[in-house]
């Protein structure tokens, strides 16, 4: 009875912490570019678009399918943030369960609290729906299934592998978590004092088979829609080009000058060496711990090494990259702190507290080191240590504003004004322009690359596969030619120009009888019969 009561208390503590950390995100306006891209594509799929054919981006399908499910009743910023809340809550619960299994009830609670904080605070983009968060939840679920009982049974091996494979549908870097799962049976053998053999081969194969089955099932609807070649192009070429561009421009930022994106030999060597070194270090630590019969610590150490390597795969350094390693890092810190705390001496207990606080600099270091290496290799100055506000100073302002809103010291408009910038509130105004000059079900287009949420908010599908003319567009060979071909075959009822038109596009619009009107949001070109035309 006491144990059950303690579990309920722990659950209540976790729910309270999550509620406090995540409540401000529920009232944020639509300002995030990546989140808006997913919402645009998801809503376009709801309106009849075909992924990778009529709507396109350079990621696997998982995050777009998730967005389509969230926006199926209609685009809603609040619904997206609620979905994010559910995902983080699920991840927190899974870390809690895994921590209790690998360590103790105390380890589970501490690890879950760490994860709840890291996955929620805005300086690691916890208030935005990025591909890493749902992918990490599936990976975490897979690893939790594999460690619930040692040795891993056949059914759990297939199920855990399938969940790890599902994580791959959100981002290719989750191959690292599949690698982590495949090593669990071997580590069990080493911890039992024997060499891995045939007995470990069966569950390892089943884990891999489960992962392949999950990916294979996902490819079926893509193939049935005739989008499989385009999907393969995304995985083999487009995402790879993005990673190469990140190696070249990460320390400096900005857009690539051309399409010669092959990194120099030194940059390539550094990148490969970094991944090998991190994986090798994780493997050595894991084997040493397993030989000392510390199986739980060994599994988590290898898992953390794999996710660190994935987080450090390129030099772009976006803070949401670190979300992939939050679960393994939280479990590793909690296990280390528990082991140090048991030594009872004050000095060891100070080290236990330091182990918990170390999660922050580890995440920052994982983002900083690749950028620093790429900068030095290309003769540039070192980038700032704290990337994209990862120092945490903005956390204080973020939660202080929410507190002032709750206390009635500022209104909702004043609270949302703090998010004004690259996308908000301009996207809302652009969406109103598109709705005003188009009819439901008719395609529209925004010529530019500053909009993000605009199609979802307008509840219109884009007339081109390129829903956002961002870096993925610029890195696509022949992107402008394909875009113009899309606009010619699927003429938008209204085209809003955020940037100057090319001569080819202007000629296309004039030749088709579009009328140009002025709007504060940019040039507005209306097709014949569109609402609001001067000659209507």
pLDDT tens string 124-145: 999 999 999 999 999 999 999 9
pLDDT bin (cut points 50, 70, 90) of residue 17 is very high
pLDDT reading at 266 higher than 70: yes
pLDDT bin (cut points 50, 70, 90) of residue 45 is very high
Q: Which two tokens stand for residue 197?
A: 């053999």
Torsion, Cα 349 353 356 357, to 10 degrees, reads -150
Comparing CA positions, the residue from 470, 337, 445 lying closest to residue 38 is 470
Comparing CA positions, the residue from 215, 173, 445, 432 lying closest to residue 320 is 173
Q: What is the Cβ-side half-sphere exposure of residue 436, based on CA atoms within 13 angstroms?
A: 14
What confidence score (pLDDT) does residue 247 get? 55
What confidence score (pLDDT) does residue 251 get? 41
pLDDT reading at 269 higher than 50: yes
What confidence score (pLDDT) does residue 242 get? 73
The per-residue DSSP string of 413-469 comes to HHHHHTT-SSSTTHHHHHHHHHHHTS-TT--EEEESSS-SSHHHHHT--BSSSBSS-
pLDDT reading at 2 higher than 60: no
pLDDT reading at 533 higher than 80: yes
High-pLDDT (> 90) share of the chain, %? 72
Q: Region 42-65: what's the mean pLDDT? A: 95
């Amino acid at each position: 009875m006491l144990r059950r009561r303690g579990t309920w208390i722990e659950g209540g503590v976790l729910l309270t912490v999550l509620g406090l950390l995540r409540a401000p995100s529920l009232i944020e306006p639509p300002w995030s570019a990546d989140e808006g891209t997913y919402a645009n594509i998801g809503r376009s799929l709801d309106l009849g678009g075909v992924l990778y054919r009529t709507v396109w981006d350079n990621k696997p399908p998982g995050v777009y399918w998730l967005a389509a499910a969230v926006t199926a009743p209609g685009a809603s910023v609040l619904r997206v943030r609620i979905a994010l809340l559910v995902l983080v809550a699920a991840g927190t619960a899974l870390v809690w369960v895994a921590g209790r299994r690998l360590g103790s009830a105390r380890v589970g609670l501490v690890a879950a609290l760490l994860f709840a904080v890291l996955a929620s605070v805005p300086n690691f983009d916890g208030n935005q729906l990025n591909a890493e968060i749902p992918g990490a939840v599936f990976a975490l679920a897979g690893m939790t299934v594999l460690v619930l009982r040692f040795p891993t049974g056949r059914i759990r091996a297939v199920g855990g592998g399938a969940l790890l494979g599902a994580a791959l549908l959100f981002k290719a870097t989750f191959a690292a978590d599949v690698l982590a799962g495949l090593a669990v049976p071997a580590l069990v053998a080493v911890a039992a004092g024997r060499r891995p053999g045939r007995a470990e081969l069966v569950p390892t194969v089943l884990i891999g088979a489960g992962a392949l089955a999950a990916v294979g099932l996902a490819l079926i609807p893509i193939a049935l829609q005739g989008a499989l070649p385009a999907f393969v192009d995304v995985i083999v070429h487009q995402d790879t080009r993005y990673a190469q561009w990140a190696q070249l421009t990460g320390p400096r930022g900005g857009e690539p000058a051309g399409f010669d994106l092959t990194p120099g030999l030194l940059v390539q060597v550094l990148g490969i060496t970094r991944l090998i070194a991190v994986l090798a270090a994780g493997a050595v630590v894991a084997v040493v711990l397993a030989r000392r019969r510390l199986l739980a610590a060994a599994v988590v150490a290898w898992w953390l090494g794999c996710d660190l390597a994935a987080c450090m795969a390129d030099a772009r350094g976006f803070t949401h990259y670190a979300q992939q390693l939050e679960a393994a890092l939280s479990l590793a810190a909690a296990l280390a702190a528990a082991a140090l705390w048991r030594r009872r001496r004050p000095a060891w207990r100070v080290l236990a507290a330091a182990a918990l606080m170390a999660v922050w600099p580890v995440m920052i270091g994982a983002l900083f080191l690749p950028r620093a290496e790429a900068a030095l290799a290309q003769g540039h100055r070192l980038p700032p240590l704290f990337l994209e506000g990862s120092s945490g100073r903005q956390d204080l302002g973020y939660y202080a504003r929410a507190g002032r809103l709750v206390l009635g010291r500022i209104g909702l408009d004043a609270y949302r004004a703090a998010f004004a910038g690259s996308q908000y509130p301009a996207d809302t105004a652009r969406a109103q322009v598109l709705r005003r000059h188009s009819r439901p079900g008719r395609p529209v287009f925004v010529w530019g690359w500053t909009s993000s949420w605009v199609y979802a908010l307008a509840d219109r599908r884009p007339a081109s596969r390129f829903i956002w003319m961002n870096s993925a567009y610029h890195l696509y060979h022949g992107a402008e030619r394909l875009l113009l071909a899309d606009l010619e075959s699927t003429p938008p009822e209204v085209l809003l120009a955020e940037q100057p038109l090319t001569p080819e596009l202007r000629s296309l619009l004039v030749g088709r009888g579009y009328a140009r009107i002025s709007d504060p949001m940019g040039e507005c070109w209306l097709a014949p019969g569109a609402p609001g035309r001067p000659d209507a």
